[in-house]
Chains A and B, each alone.
Chain A
Amino acid sequence: MQVSQSQINEDAIDLMINMGPQHPSTHGVFRLVIWVDGEKIQKVEPHIGYLHRGSEKICESESYNQIITLFDRLDYVGNLNNELAFSLAVEKLMDLEIPERAQYIRVILCELNRIASHMLFYGVYGLDAGATTPMLYAFRERERIQELFESVTGARLMHNYIRIGGIKEDVEKDFKEKVHKLIDHLKESIDECDDLLSNNEMFLVRTKDIGIITADEAIDLGLSGPSLRASGVLEDIRVTDSYSIYDRFDFGIPIGSKGDCWDRYFVRVQEMRESIKIIEQALADLPEGEIITPIKGMVRPPKGEVFVRTESPRGDLGVFVVSDGSDKPYRVKVRPPSFVNLQALELMLRDTYLADAVLVLGSIDIIMGEVDR
């Protein structure tokens, strides 16, 4: 299956195809230059930077509370996970104690966000494979989650809800019932989505044994998140390097066996089910009490630097903050999972058919806002 670089016959490359940046299946503005030999892909070259907004640089001129709004806009389908990563970094630097209630609400909302993100992946991946129905089903379910977000945080996408030291405001009184109702509904709909697509013959033919990446290669390339677990590597930062209060919950880590497109798809479907388990446990233990540790005046972390890694829906999201003691950070660096996962694309695409390029690209679930920052 895999061909090493030396084996590629340069003379055989006869056509260069430009996919993107306005291609509808590139999930944003992403350009992929593909060299094909007949229908077989010989070499690909990803071009990124079309969505570069200079977020990391802007962070240096914003106060810590304003930066949370920028983190919302990195991975724009997993916003709360991004907010959490930055807040955790600053809290670690300031050595803040987070109230229990805030921790639980953060976890519940982040896991719901993970389901929403995977739902989006599910729908769009169906669309990539040529099935339009899954997209409509997935967006319907995602809409329910966003409705809950709207009633809790006030916004459907850009929440700005997680604050340094806690959360913005307490959840409504009927939050528990609302979430219970939602997850009961989600359980059914995940099964429904699973029935609809996972074992469909046409989908299996399109995704099985396509874009294979072995565990060793995946580790070498620094893959993370569901894309890494699909290759059979048991690595989930929620478990292996636990942050927040994830060590209190009992949940499984779905892993794949082969590392093909179907595994990467199915790991995400299974992960939604595991997220529901976390939400159920967190709801059962949800304590009463404070929601934020008040900070007097501006957020001014002491001089120093900190690195925090979290498991975002796409993988290992790292945030590095350097503080010079003022109310603005000296440097903020994000280690975006999508950006790192994208570099495996060349290996995955080599020697596959051109028609599968969209499926392989879709299976690593990139978000260009995070790749370009």
Chain B
Amino acid sequence: MISKLKNIGFLRGLVVTLKTTFRSSVTAEYPKLDKRIQVADRFMGFPALLWDGNIVEPYCTGCMVCVRNCPTQCMSAEMKDNPKYEEGISGRRKIINEFEINLGRCILCGICVDVCNFDAIEMSHEHELSKYQRNGNRANLDTLLEMGKEYQSKVNWTPKQPEKNSGKPKEKVIKPKTTGDSVTPLTLDKSLNSDSTEKDSAE
């Protein structure tokens, strides 16, 4: 069989390669910003924390649900009482104090985004790991918020649950608080901002 086909398959292969000689290149030059391939809208890069521009604070309340659900334990978080809540500007009783993601350990699975109840974390388009510092991949809160701001402006990000996570203090009085809490009730308008969302964050 092989002797019958002598040189035909070889020539067919040559015709294929000859065809591609006249078409344009399919590769892109990677490091050049204008020539590299742009990532898709849904691209999952490193997780970034999002910034609530209306209240001027992060969305994240430090509820730790992403930290608990991370398959590689690459995150750590710490919450604090939100001073803006006491001033009546914000509806978030607790706010993130310290947040660190070891980007070298992150596997970009997106589970943290799935489990977040506050629209606080999103997979950004940032995907380059090279850093000048040895521990440059340990992204702290400021870095993560910076990545988040960049992502938000790039994709015109809007919260998935805008009513729930608007962060505005609630106007209506739901129920006077009776249980002891670190937050002192406001004396001016008696609104106590206790809805279910904020309860979650305090836990």
Q: List the interface of chain A (C-beta within 8 A of B).
A: 62-63, 65-66, 69-70, 133, 140, 143, 147, 150-155, 158, 160, 168-169, 172, 192, 195-205, 208
Whether A66 contacts B111 in the complex (CB less than 8 A), given A151-B40, A154-B44, comes out as: yes
Whether A69 contacts B111 in the complex (CB less than 8 A), given A62-B71, A154-B42, A195-B16, comes out as: yes
Choice from A66, A199, A208 contacting B12 with Cβ under 8 Å: A199
B42 adjacent to A197 (CB under 8 Å): no
Whether A192 contacts B16 in the complex (CB less than 8 A), given A153-B42, A154-B123, A201-B7, comes out as: yes
- Interface status of B5 (Cβ within 8 A of chain A): yes
* A contact residues around B69 at 8 Å (CB): 63, 65-66
Cα of A110 to Cα of B129 in the assembled complex, Å: 30
A154 adjacent to B71 (CB under 8 Å): no
B71 adjacent to A66 (CB under 8 Å): yes
Cα of A65 to Cα of B113 in the assembled complex, Å: 13
Produce 1/0 per residue, B1-37, CB < 8 A to A.
Answer: 0100111111011011100000000100000000000
Cα of A65 to Cα of B12 in the assembled complex, Å: 49
| 27 pairs of residues in contact across A and B, judged by CB atoms under 8 Å | A62-B71, A65-B69, A65-B111, A66-B109, A150-B39, A154-B110, A154-B123, A155-B43, A155-B44, A155-B108, A158-B108, A160-B109, A160-B111, A168-B110, A169-B42, A172-B42, A192-B16, A195-B16, A196-B12, A199-B5, A199-B8, A199-B9, A200-B13, A201-B6, A201-B10, A202-B10, A204-B5
Cα of A203 to Cα of B13 in the assembled complex, Å: 11
Q: B123: nearest residue on chain A (CB-CB)?
A: A154
Choice from A151, A158, A200 contacting B9 with Cβ under 8 Å: A200
Whether A69 contacts B107 in the complex (CB less than 8 A), given A63-B69, A151-B41, A201-B5, comes out as: yes
Choice from B26, B71, B111, B114 contacting A140 with Cβ under 8 Å: B26
Q: A69-B109, A155-B44 are in contact. List 16 more A-B contacts (CB 8 A).
A: A66-B71, A133-B13, A147-B40, A150-B40, A150-B43, A151-B42, A153-B42, A155-B43, A158-B109, A160-B110, A168-B110, A196-B12, A199-B8, A201-B2, A201-B7, A203-B9
Cα of A205 to Cα of B109 in the assembled complex, Å: 45
| Interface size, chain B (Cβ < 8 Å) | 28
A115 → chain B, closest Cβ, in Å?
18
B42 adjacent to A152 (CB under 8 Å): yes
* A contact residues around B7 at 8 Å (CB): 201
Whether A196 contacts B111 in the complex (CB less than 8 A), given A154-B43, A201-B2, A201-B10, comes out as: no
B107 adjacent to A158 (CB under 8 Å): yes
Q: Which of B6, B7, B39 has the most CB of A within 10 A?
A: B39
Q: B39: nearest residue on chain A (CB-CB)?
A: A150
Produce 1/0 per residue, B105-131, CB < 8 A to A.
Answer: 001111100100000000100000000
* A contact residues around B110 at 8 Å (CB): 154, 160, 168
* B contact residues around A208 at 8 Å (CB): 2
Q: Which of B5, B15, B109 has the most CB of A within 10 A?
A: B109
Cα of A334 to Cα of B49 in the assembled complex, Å: 36
Q: Which 6 A-B pairs have the closest CB atoms?
A: A199-B9, A154-B44, A151-B40, A66-B71, A154-B42, A160-B109
Q: Which of A133, A150, A204 has the most CB of B within 10 A?
A: A150
* A contact residues around B109 at 8 Å (CB): 66, 69, 158, 160
B190 → chain A, closest Cβ, in Å?
36
Which B71-105 residues sit within 8 Å CB-CB of chain A? 71
Cα of A195 to Cα of B19 in the assembled complex, Å: 12
* B contact residues around A172 at 8 Å (CB): 42
Q: B16: nearest residue on chain A (CB-CB)?
A: A196
A263 → chain B, closest Cβ, in Å?
14
Q: A150: nearest residue on chain B (CB-CB)?
A: B40
Cα of A150 to Cα of B107 in the assembled complex, Å: 15
Q: Which of B6, B9, B26, B69 has the most CB of A within 10 A?
A: B9
Cα of A225 to Cα of B8 in the assembled complex, Å: 31
Cα of A65 to Cα of B112 in the assembled complex, Å: 11
B9 adjacent to A204 (CB under 8 Å): yes
A204 adjacent to B111 (CB under 8 Å): no
Cα of A200 to Cα of B10 in the assembled complex, Å: 5
Q: B2: nearest residue on chain A (CB-CB)?
A: A204
B40 adjacent to A198 (CB under 8 Å): no
Q: Which of A70, A140, A172, A196 has the most CB of B within 10 A?
A: A196
Cα of A203 to Cα of B41 in the assembled complex, Å: 42
Cα of A197 to Cα of B15 in the assembled complex, Å: 12
Cα of A69 to Cα of B40 in the assembled complex, Å: 21
B63 → chain A, closest Cβ, in Å?
16
Cα of A154 to Cα of B9 in the assembled complex, Å: 40
Q: Which of A153, A154, A197, A204 has the most CB of B within 10 A?
A: A154
B43 → chain A, closest Cβ, in Å?
6
A282 → chain B, closest Cβ, in Å?
21
* A contact residues around B123 at 8 Å (CB): 154
B17 adjacent to A133 (CB under 8 Å): yes
* B contact residues around A202 at 8 Å (CB): 10
* B contact residues around A151 at 8 Å (CB): 40-42
